[in-house]
Structure 1
Amino acid sequence: MINKIESIGTTSTGKIIYSSDDCQDILSLPVTKIIDVFKPSGVIIFRGFGVTHEQMKAFAALFSSKFVQDYKRPQVDSDKFIHFVDAGMENCVPHSEHAYSPFRPDAVWFCCAFPAAQGGETTFCDGIRVWEELSEETRQLFISKKLKFYYEDIPAVVLKRFTSTDAASTDDIKRMLDGLEGVKYEIKEDESASMEYVSSAVVKTKYSNQDAFANSVLALHAITEKVAFEDGSIVPDEVIEEIEKTTDRLMEHISWQAGDLAMIDNSRFMHGRREFNDQRRQIFSTLSNLKF
């Protein structure tokens, strides 16, 4: 039974689903009802269920066909699918998870074990609205040019994690990469790989098939100070500034409470984090592809 649903903020379609009592098990919620809420909203916060990171994964499994590993973050379970989020305390600009790679998951799940005393809110903005509010000139730029990402010396053990088994052979890795759109690669003698990935910054949302500016442009710019198009040209600084202003204007946030669980459509929403200064903050995540 779902007791209460309300909207998050004023600029997004996100929803909060509240527990009907202090003892309600999140695994008792009706899956079909959650799907009906999630498809149009794209973000759901489950509050009052006292969710642990183990329950997060069990709940996510009800909706998922596959979990996706995040090898850059500390892993806290034996299957290596639950990750500890906080590698730092600084502000994180909005981004879609793994949008810089061909292994982009459908959904990002967050579970709060302990919120920061001040700050540390997870932020999110709707890529559909961002795309609608960017200038026509900027939209035409991203329609006409795709982004290009290049990676050297990817260990074989990392690539194996994206196949069906950690025991995958080099031939299995090649078959996987051959089936991915926008990918060129070279397997080296030590079985590591170099990979080029080309993709649009504008993606079709999973459920409404609408254009969404849901990508990692701002995150990559924050790290490298430049983001490259396929033709080698760089996204202009004035375009980055426009994107920053637009996402700032549309940004909503999750003021975490212990036991909260968030479910985010990674094909539509970008998420980030506000700065904090509290080492007790604990947020866990898992990534998955959805089966509905």
Structure 2
Amino acid sequence: MIGKIEPLGTSTGKILYNSHCQNILDLSVAETMEIFKSSGVILFRDFGVTPKQMKDFSEQFSGKHIIDFTKVSIDSDKYVNFVDGGMDGLIPHCENSCFPFRPDVIWFCCTVPAEQEGETLFWDGIRVWEELSQESKQLFLSKQLKFSYKNVPVDILKGIIGSNANTIDDIKQRLDSVDGVSYQFNDDKTVSVEYTCSSVVNNKYNHQNAFANHFWVYQKRTEEAIFDDGSRASDEVADEIERIFDKLTEKIPWKAGDLVMMDNSRFLHGRGAFTDNRRQVFTTLSNLKF
């Protein structure tokens, strides 16, 4: 049985409260999925979720979990991780959207919120796309984003791809199955990968265009070319996107035991800066089986 539901900020997201003293593992998977498909973000509150329960709950929805080699794991399978270290703010991005194997969902579990600030921030990529000018929309429709990785260890690539990637041929087969990927195996048991993709994602459930990508990280944090033609976005486009992000910022004000399920094909996420080093938020990544 699904309990009390409220809006999450001004977004389509929902807060689902535990009003029947339920274990979160007893929630209806079918009902939860229907809420998720329409909302894109669910904050499960008052269920007292632990990182292990986050993993167990996510397994009911997931066909596969994905290893995040950039984070510190706390379980033997390396699926449950601390979120990014440090206390600085993190700018809008979709998880692993700069790599060929983007997860469908990012799950967050908070065990210790920061005393002040430190909220997880999120942005609806559909609304971001709707706010963009026609000139900017044309830019992002006409150019692909380009990401390059040199000397990725084969074992790390196996972990990202999943349990079926046992041999070099398995890895090649998976890389060949993804549009926009070129690669080269190196003599030192590493792989160099180049990935081009659209910044505009057709959302999995409502099939609307979403500005859901890794563009802003590269625009703000590097001097590298972003587009496949070797160019970067103009200052005017960057200023427009920054204004839109500022306008559409939503917050998850963490309480201990909160769990969040977020559509990674639609929503970008980030973090507000904080000073409380006791803050603990964990994450896992998965592909849905629905």
Task: Please confirm whether the aligned pair reaches a TM-score higher than 0.5, indicating the same fold.
Answer: yes
Name the counterpart of 1:279: 277
Could you tell me how far 1:191 is from its partner in structure 2? 2.0
Per the alignment, in what secondary structure is the counterpart of residue 55 of structure 2? helix
- Name structure 2 gaps, 5 residues minimum: none
Distance in 2 separating the partners of 1:109 and 1:167: 24
DSSP 3-state at the match of 2:160: coil
Q: Normalising by structure 1, what TM-score?
A: 0.97
Q: Which of 257, 260, 267 in structure 1 is aligned with 2:258?
A: 260
Q: Deviations over 1:88-114 (max 9, x none)?
A: 111111110011011100000000000
Which residue is 1:18 aligned to?
Answer: 17
Q: Is the 8 A contact 1:111 1:283 kept in 2?
A: yes
Any idea what SS the aligned residue of 2:161 has? Answer: coil
In the TM superposition, residue 162 of structure 1 has moved relative to its aligned partner by 2.9
User: Mean alpha-carbon deviation: is it higher for 227-236 or for 178-187?
Assistant: 227-236
Show the 5 A alignment for 1:101-180: 101-165=99-163, 168-180=166-178
- 1:226-251 CA-to-partner distances (Å, cap 9, x unmatched) read 45111111122221221111011011
**2:32 aligned with 1:34:** yes
Cα 1:183–1:167 change in 2 (3 A) is closer
For residues 188-211 of structure 1, give each alpha carbon's deviation from its aligned partner in whole angstroms, at most 9, with x where no partner exists: 112201111000000100001110
Partners of 1:204 and 1:266 lie apart in 2 by: 11
Deviation at 1:2, TM superposition (A): 1.9
CA offset digits 1:206-225 (Å, max 9, x no partner) = 00111000011112223214
**Equivalences, count:** 290
String of CA shifts for 1:128-165, please: whole Å, max 9, x gaps: 01000001100000011011111101111111113343
Aligned with 1:237 (options 232, 235, 239): 235
SS in 1 for 2:139: helix
Measure, in 2, the Cα distance between the counterparts of 1:101 and 1:260: 28
TM-score by length of 2: 0.97
Paired residue for 1:204? 202
Contact 2:101 2:161 in 1 (8 A): no
- The letter of the residue matching 1:35 is M
Residue in structure 1 matched with residue 191 of structure 2 by the alignment: 193
1:217 to 209, 212, 215: 215
Which residue does the alignment assign to 1:289?
287
Contact 2:165–2:171 under 8 Å retained in 1? no
Give the match for residue 56 of structure 1.
54
